[in-house]
Structures are given as C-alpha cells and as structure tokens.
Structure 1
C-alpha cells in the first residue's frame, strides 16, 4: 500500500513539474510555426483561422479592421530600461484586389489593452482614432507595414515601414527594402506583392535601440536592419502588455495574412521554418475591362437617372414653396412676401413657433434674415371670388400708420391659403394677460392706457385715414401688447374699407359673439357704429375682468346687465375687477363703466362716435347724467338682452362659451 502511494505521489510531482516548466516557458515566449491550428488567439469578428492554419486578418470588405492577439499579457520588466528587451519574428502577406491597387496595411503592436472597439480602419490601421491619435496615455508601440500614403499622417510613400509610438505619425520610417547579405546592396520589396514577407523586430533595452528588418521569405535574416531607431521604451510600455497584429482596409482593400509567428519577452525569438508555414492563397485574377459600348451605356444610364432625380427634386422644391401670383399683383411687389422667406422665418411653420390660433387661422413667430421679428398668420380660403378686391384692401391697410395699430406689413398667397405678415408683439394678446392665472394682473393705469390707445386707433380708422376702415372684430384677443404693454389693435383680416361719405356694402355677419351689435345681427351690415358697440363691450371687459356673456350654471349672465345691477345696488364701481384690489381712480373707473354702457347702447344712433369717446376719456366732454333706474336704461338693458334676435339663444350662448369667431352669411 505504501509503495503504491509513493508511486502516485511521484507521478503527480512529475506531471506538475512538467506543467510548471511549460507554464514558465509560455510566460516568456511562444512560437506558431505550423500555422495557427492550436493557437488560442483573441480574434475579432472579421479575423479568421483557415483550415490549413493560415491566419487571415482582413478580407476585401471596405473600411474594416481585424485584430489577432496573444490571449495572455506578458510581464515586461519596465522598471529598469536596461532589462527591458524583446524579440519577435513573423511572416505576413498582403494580397491586393488587383495587381495595381490594394490597402491599407498591417501592423505588429504591443498594447496595454485588448479593446480596439473605438479605433477606426483605413489609415489608422485599426489602432487609433482621430481623437486618440498622439495621446501619450495610449502607451502603444507599433511597427506598421503600410501600402497607402496618408498625407495627414505624414507618410513618406505608399510602400513603407514605420515605427509608431502612441501615434500613426511614425517616429521613424523607410521605404520597404532589404539588404542582401554578402553584397550589402539595398533591394526593393513591394509590401502588396502578395508574396510572403518575413519580418524581425528586436529591442535591446541596454542600447535603447529598436531594429526592424524585413526580407522575402526563404532568405537568411539580413545582417543590416531596415530601421535602427533609438528609443527608451521603458517610458512607453507598462509592466503588463499584450502583443498582436492589426490590419485595416479602406475604400481600396486587400486580403491580409499572417503565416507564422514567434515571440520572446526576454531574449531572441525562435526562427520560423519556411517549409512548415501554410501557403498564401493565389492572387485573384483581374476581371476583364468593360468594352467601350458597355461604358457608354452605363454613362448614359447614370446621366438619365441624374436628370430624373434633378427634375424630381426641382418639382418637390417648387411644390414646397409654390405660390399663387397673378399679373395684377405685380403692382403690390413691396407688400408681397415670398413664401420661401416666410417658411424659413418660421422654421417651416413648426409648432414650437406657434403663438396663437383662432377661427380664422394660426399665428406663428418668425425671424427675417435682418433679425426683425414678425408675426405670420395663415388664413384658409377656398375660392378666388373677390380675391382681387380683398388683396387690394389688404395692401391698402398695409399703409395704415398709427402707434396703437399693429402694422400689417404684407401678404403672401398660396393655393387654398392666404398669409398675412404683421409686426411681432412680444407680450401677446390682452385676452391672455387679462385672464391669466400665472401672470401679474394689469393695474388700472395700464388698463386705462390700453383702453384709450385702442380708442385712439379706432378714431384714426374711422375718421382720420384716407378711407373709412371698419375693423369688425374688436375684442381683447385682437389687442396685442408691445414691449411696454401699450395696446395695439391687430388682425385686420375681417376689416372693410370704404370712402368717406359713402356707405359700406358688406352684408356678411362677421365677428365674435358678445361683441356683435344688435343691428349687425339683424342686417349683417357693419358700420362704424357696430365697431363702437364692440369697443363698448371691450371697455367693460377690461374694467371688470369678465367676458361679455358668461355661462353660469344652466343660464347665462350678460356683462351689461350685471354692471347695471351693481349700479342699482349703490355703486357702479362695484363691478370693477376684484384683482385690482380697489387700487384705481374711482372717477376714471366710473367713467369707463358708464361710457362702456353708452357705447353698447342697442340704438346705434344713441351711441357716441369715436371722436366723442376720446373727448370723454380725455375729460374734454362730460357724459350725460343718466340714472340706472331711468326708462332709457330699462330699454337699454332689455334691448341688449334681445340683441341676438334672429338666431336661437342656445346656439349663440353655446358659441360664446368658447369665445369663437362667428361667420354667417345674411341672406
């Protein structure tokens, strides 16, 4: 029994000793002389080992990089420059697609990492990228065998050997040649010949010298190296480093192979036996050049395709910016904006540039090339009926100039669409500010200034311009606030013009429920008096912070009736907006509320005109003294309650609850 145990112990000791010796040898050197059949190399997706043991790093795929690394790091003694030495011997071949072109090349490298996922192919050989190239922290030594001249990397030519330290800009390089033994003559060597080439790389830490030698396979190692470069690699390499090969292709490609490889980290690498190495695949035969007829047909086909693409692109471009422009519009040149300019100004009418929308279209913020800000309103239209007259009116209104009017700068027409261009008002609409739960409420001074400003603008439209302009849609939503919160009347899309002393001919009911005069609903005929009625509703809304008609439960409450009830209750100023917190001039508040009631009188003949309104607001005239219990007020309230006769009350109130703009033809 004891004898048997001794035999087992001896067998284990012997085998462990063999394993230890093998491990020690593997830690210092290796050799692959019969191909890479049993090699446990670290390969990436593009690199493969053929059945005969041939290692292929790249194929003729464009812009690819292949890598093959010995799977275990070597312990290099970098603590002392004199003790850092290594040697490697390998055979490689670069087989181009044809006899004349090929690329890019192959490199032997020593690296602290096996990860080259961020490296790029082509001239960077799968080792670096544009941002990493030249960084000292990469700590990579490479010897490149490059078949393409890359000017950006200062390559000397398209057939060179280079020594690279942390960069593909070589420390030293030379045209691929070798020195024959005995004769000592330099002989040329084509790296992309497709023939096997043997390389020796030896570093002596004591001399701090790196030698690179090459020759055709089967020739004894030349005594004189191609490159002999002084280098202190102890400043470059780490104690633990990987060794391997990298190869890359670009727009021009090659098959790149390694036939055999030996390495020694502390002495001379073992020599390879050329007779045992796997063969290199034969060169691919160049395909016959196409005939002149084939080339001509290809050129014609490409030209025809190019013409079709250009025509199609032009049609798409033209459709994108297509406008409707008739001969009679030429006289309006300065007022007409090219659609392309408006498209670019609004960034393609993107939703993020949308600043408002209503029943007649959407409004976008735009910036012209001059950095001027504009508001661009897109209005749909379905026919050409009356278009010439409509455009003429729009252009005429573009000549309006008043500090309390938003300047209409011009227009553009497309199929089914009309576009108006205004000055941009940075603080948006009065309606938005008046009913905002987040913005600071307007104080009484600001509100009174806005009321007076809009009154001044309406006086200009009704009496002071060369023609009479009826706005037809006066409401807080159409009053915009400039940078100083001055009110400016906007949106002249519904406006009508006629000569002084004549009568307007329009018979279309247009406007917004709550601001429509009773005679306008009956006849559809807009006048300056209907504008005054709407302005009266506007004044009351600004002072009270309430809409002209509001839904309350199952019923509705009219603002005129509510104000009158406050007046009967003892003080008309009780109707003022609670958000003012009583901070206002009672005299001015009472004036605005009573004047709003007079402007909203059901009888157009009883309403003041805009010149009289301005006189009342400026204190140049005194309002008539009317009691809330007088018969005239009773008639006033009753008539206002019935001002929407001709349409059913439920439908009107249903519309008014969302403050929509109404457009009804009056037959």
Structure 2
C-alpha cells in the first residue's frame, strides 16, 4: 500500500476552505487569496513524499526480471539468469524548484534483503538510482548493475546518481571487497565506498553486516542541499537509524542530475547462481526526512533452512528414496544394455576416417535390426541388407561380413576408405564402413534394380534385358574398369567381377559394386595379380 503525499491532503483542505468562503461575506476575500497563495507556494516547493509497505497494490513500473510476488515482495532478479531487472516509481520527480535551480534535499529509506542460494559463491548485488530515463535497453548486466554499459560508463551526459549494494569484488571497477556499499556518479566505479556495516550510537564501535546474508536490513540515503552532503546509513531491520552514517561524501548533485524530471528506482541483475534481490518497503521525502517504515506492516521474506517434517513425510520420504534408487538402478542397467547392444570397435588410428565411419546404431535402425525382410542377397563374404538412414532418408545397401581378413584391419580399412573416394557413374558409391565386435559393415548406395544376375540366370524372370540394354551394361562396366585401371590416381584391381556384383540403377545403367576384395596399387608398379582370388558366383 502507499500513503498519499501531504500535498493531496492540502488540496482537499483548500477546496473545503473555498466552499466555506463562498458562503461568507466578501470581506473575507483577502484572507482567501492569502490562503490560496500559501497553497500554491507549498505545491510548487516540491515537498513530495511517499511510503510503500509491500508492493501488491502499487503502480510501480517493472521491466526485465523484476516482478512483485504474491506476498508483496519486489523481486528484482526472479531467478532468470542474464536479465536486468528494474523497478521505477510510476511518475518522475522534480528535484529542482525551477530550471537551473539547485537540486533540493531529499531522503530515502529502503528495507531490503539479498538472498543467495550458494553461500560459497557471490554475485553482483543491487542498486538504488536516480536517472532521467526509464529506458535501460542498452544497459549491461553484472558490474554495470543493468544501468550503464561499456560505452557510457563514466560519461557525464548520463546524469545518473546511484547507490550500489555490491556483493561481488570486481577488480576491473576497483571494488574494495565482495560486501560493500558505494556512491556512484555516472559510473560503475564508486566515487566513495566502504565495507557494509554500521556504527553503534554508544561507543561508536563498527559492526560488520553481510549484505547477502538472507536477512532484512535498512538503508538510508540522505542528501543536503545546503552543504551538498551525501550520507549513506545501514542498519539491521530491528534497529533505528544510527546517528553516524556509514558513508559520507561531499558532491553537488546539481552538477549531476539534469533539469528535467528524474525517475527513481532499483536495479539488479539475475545471475546463474540464482541470487534474489528483494525490496520489502520503501519511503521517500523531498525537503524532509523519508517517513519511518513500520516493519510490522512489511511482507515476510521466504523461509530458508530446514523446516519441521510431518509424520506422513517421515514415512513417504524413505519410500520415495528407495523408489528413486531402484529407478536409477533400472535406468543405469537399461543404459548399459543399450550401450552393449550398439557397442562398436574403435581404435585410435580410425580418427582420420571419421567422416567415413557410420555408427552401428544408425545402421541397425536403418535396416530394421538386420531382419531377413530387408535382406537383398548373400554370398561368400556375408549378407547384404537394404536400409534407409534415419535423418537423411537416403537409401543404402549394407554388406555385413566377417571381421577377419588376410590383411591387417588397419590396412583393410585404409583401402576401403580410399576406394570410397572413387567417383564414377558406372561404379557403385562406397559410402563408408562400421566395425562391431566380430563384424565389419560396408555401406553402399542402394541400386533399386538389383544385380545383373537375376536378369540373366534367375529361374523366375520378372523382366528380360533387350540387346540394347545389355550392350549399355557391358559398355558401362568396361568404362568403369577403364577408370579403375587407368584414370584414377591409383590402380584399383577389383578381383571379383561377376554378374552378381554388377548392379543396375533406376535407369538400368550398369554399375560395378562390392569392392571388398579390391586392392590398390600405384601407377607404374607391378600389381602381382597372377594368383586367383574372388568368390563363387555367376
């Protein structure tokens, strides 16, 4: 709730006086004019004041992470990391009686609390400010308190006065420690600063206070027009205002604040460690002390620390814990089984072949778990399955074969990857490979019309190749062999040419496939191909 300023009561009284005088003799005209003049003079003096006990019914202007909780707390950070939070008094205030006049005396009283969820960590705190604008869209977070940025920091044209309640030591802006109060003029670098605390009235001893100690405390900011003195005072919530201020500075705010009306309010920054900056109450007075805040009328802070547990909770908690442990054990078991199911063989030397290696999981899902309904054929070296890659929807043929080889596995995979670089319209593109336990998988482009042997030797022929198509197939395979033997950067000896390894694409063009037995040689060397190799076939 907010109490009405005295000027409103004065206006109400003036209206009553006007009504009374209207019914009196005209001899009272001079008295009326005198009284009216006094009223106008009082209104023009700028003796504004207000007080808030919580903010549920207030008309504060909020932006960024600033919100008002159900209990009436002004929460400037709201736990939303990376956002600036601002709260403004709804109307701008005139700190000067006239253009070019001096900034008048004013007083501010705030009850606030900074909550930190991780005691060993610290984050930037909050600030009270006076500024000529409510637009801080270009302000930066962290050390700039959501009010300034790298470019305008220290710029006298900003006309900003700020009291920082800082809970983070930032060496870049010359912070003295991670628990201090500072007076700032147009800058994130404090003109004056000191460690948070208060001086006792009896004896004058200094007592430290922890700003982010999850406790409510009071702050007073007072400015005196006559001696241009700024006083900042801090105290626990259950204690009156100490007679000695915590921090004092002499600075003429008439050289800082602009002639226009000024906005007053609070700013904070939401951080990843989830600090919460609360304002519980707020009062302000122009040319008079800020009204004292009755702490019994303030909203309550959230509870922290352990709370009493009910009997039901004592029963439910162990059951829930046991259920959670059982669930976690089941989850770990499922994850381990899944890893074993899709486990692959990987060695350090395969790092250079990364782009050519497929995951077993992708091949497993692409072929429906290598089920027989996806089987395209089988030969001496393994079975071939049709598949569709999950993300790209590219159709592939996967040859599943024994992991054993006459050559070392490194040399074999090296040649497989090298052959994968072949690009010719009459060769089936070898896309890559995968290794798992005792198996090796070679991945090819899928040829929709299958192999040549089913058109030449199948007992059940669904189609017959005419001589034009047969000649085109023969010519295509010959062109592909010429590319392998003469045109590519190395000599590739296929060593297993047969009708079942000649594949037909969607246009019935012949493509030579299955390079599982192929060998690579440099041009000019003797390939030594006198011994017989190959697989049984037609």
TM-score (norm 1): 0.43
Indicate the SS of the match to 2:297. Answer: coil
Distance (Å, rounded) in 2 between the aligned partners of 1:337 and 1:304:
37
Q: Greater Rg, structure 1 or structure 2?
A: 1
Residue 230 of structure 2 corresponds to 210
Q: Write out per-residue CA displacement over residues 600-636 of structure 1, whole angstroms, 9 at most, x where no aligned residue.
A: xxxxxxxxxxxxxxxxxxxxxxxxxxxxxxxxxxxxx
Q: Write out per-residue CA displacement over residues 479-521 of structure 1, whole angstroms, 9 at most, x where no aligned residue.
A: 69xxxxxx9348999x6439xxxxx8x45583789998xxxxx
Q: 1:418 aligns with which of 430, 442, 445?
A: 442
Residue 502 of structure 2 corresponds to 510
**Structure 1 pair 385/235, CA: closer, same or farther in 2 (3 Å)?**
same
Q: 1:380 aligns with which of 374, 393, 397?
A: 397
Contact 1:81–1:233 (CA under 8 A) maintained in structure 2:
no
Question: Which consecutive unaligned segments of at least 5 residues does structure 2 have?
Answer: 1-18, 24-28, 363-383, 385-394, 445-473, 511-535
Q: In the TM superposition, what is the alpha-carbon distance from 1:66 to its structure 2 partner?
A: 4.8
Is 1:260 aligned with 2:282? Answer: yes
Contact 1:157–1:175 (CA under 8 A) maintained in structure 2:
yes
Q: Write out per-residue CA displacement over residues 581-613 of structure 1, whole angstroms, 9 at most, x where no aligned residue.
A: xxxxxxxxxxxxxxxxxxxxxxxxxxxxxxxxx
Is 1:197 aligned with 2:215? Answer: no
**Structure 1 pair 302/511, CA: closer, same or farther in 2 (3 Å)?**
closer
Residue 143 of structure 1 corresponds to 163
Residue 549 of structure 1 corresponds to none
Residue 4 of structure 2 corresponds to none
Question: Which consecutive unaligned segments of at least 5 residues does structure 1 have?
Answer: 349-359, 361-377, 421-469, 481-486, 499-503, 517-664
Indicate the SS of the match to 1:284. Answer: coil
**Structure 1 pair 139/302, CA: closer, same or farther in 2 (3 Å)?**
farther
Q: In the TM superposition, what is the alpha-carbon distance from 1:70 to its structure 2 partner?
A: 1.8
Contact 1:107–1:144 (CA under 8 A) maintained in structure 2:
yes
Residue 458 of structure 1 corresponds to none
1 or 2, which has the higher helix percentage? Answer: 1
**Structure 1 pair 184/163, CA: closer, same or farther in 2 (3 Å)?**
same
Residue 298 of structure 2 corresponds to 279
Q: In the TM superposition, what is the alpha-carbon distance from 1:262 to its structure 2 partner?
A: 1.1
Is 1:245 aligned with 2:266? Answer: yes
Contact 1:138–1:166 (CA under 8 A) maintained in structure 2:
yes
Contact 1:48–1:56 (CA under 8 A) maintained in structure 2:
yes
Q: In the TM superposition, what is the alpha-carbon distance from 1:271 to its structure 2 partner?
A: 3.7
Indicate the SS of the match to 2:300. Answer: coil
Residue 89 of structure 1 corresponds to 108
Distance (Å, rounded) in 2 between the aligned partners of 1:282 and 1:14:
50
Q: In the TM superposition, what is the alpha-carbon distance from 1:243 to its structure 2 partner?
A: 0.8
Q: In the TM superposition, what is the alpha-carbon distance from 1:256 to its structure 2 partner?
A: 1.9
Q: In the TM superposition, what is the alpha-carbon distance from 1:92 to its structure 2 partner?
A: 0.9
Indicate the SS of the match to 2:86. Answer: strand
Contact 1:94–1:194 (CA under 8 A) maintained in structure 2:
yes
Contact 2:128–2:264 (CA under 8 A) maintained in structure 1:
yes
Distance (Å, rounded) in 1 between the aligned partners of 2:80 and 2:414:
65
State how 1:574-593 maps to structure 2 within 5 Å.
none
Distance (Å, rounded) in 2 between the aligned partners of 1:396 and 1:243:
72
Q: Write out per-residue CA displacement over residues 332-391 of structure 1, whole angstroms, 9 at most, x where no aligned residue.
A: x99x887535359xxx9xxxxxxxxxxx9xxxxxxxxxxxxxxxxx97344549996999
Q: In the TM superposition, what is the alpha-carbon distance from 1:174 to its structure 2 partner?
A: 1.0
Residue 91 of structure 2 corresponds to 72
Q: 1:111 aligns with which of 131, 142, 145?
A: 131
Contact 1:145–1:160 (CA under 8 A) maintained in structure 2:
yes
Q: Write out per-residue CA displacement over residues 62-119 of structure 1, whole angstroms, 9 at most, x where no aligned residue.
A: 6576533122223456999993454222131317489979986442111232234566
Distance (Å, rounded) in 1 between the aligned partners of 2:249 and 2:74:
30
Contact 1:380–1:416 (CA under 8 A) maintained in structure 2:
no
Residue 356 of structure 2 corresponds to 342
Q: 1:56 aligns with which of 60, 74, 95?
A: 74
**Structure 1 pair 41/384, CA: closer, same or farther in 2 (3 Å)?**
closer
Q: Write out per-residue CA displacement over residues 181-214 of structure 1, whole angstroms, 9 at most, x where no aligned residue.
A: 464443444544634424123265x866533233
Q: Write out per-residue CA displacement over residues 192-241 of structure 1, whole angstroms, 9 at most, x where no aligned residue.
A: 4634424123265x866533233456867545432223556566543333
Indicate the SS of the match to 2:281. Answer: strand
Indicate the SS of the match to 1:74. Answer: coil
**Structure 1 pair 278/65, CA: closer, same or farther in 2 (3 Å)?**
farther
Residue 488 of structure 1 corresponds to 487
Q: In the TM superposition, what is the alpha-carbon distance from 1:473 to its structure 2 partner?
A: 2.5
**Structure 1 pair 488/30, CA: closer, same or farther in 2 (3 Å)?**
farther
Contact 1:89–1:269 (CA under 8 A) maintained in structure 2:
no
**Structure 1 pair 299/35, CA: closer, same or farther in 2 (3 Å)?**
closer
Distance (Å, rounded) in 2 between the aligned partners of 1:472 and 1:491:
20
Indicate the SS of the match to 1:88. Answer: strand
Residue 7 of structure 2 corresponds to none
**Structure 1 pair 167/263, CA: closer, same or farther in 2 (3 Å)?**
same
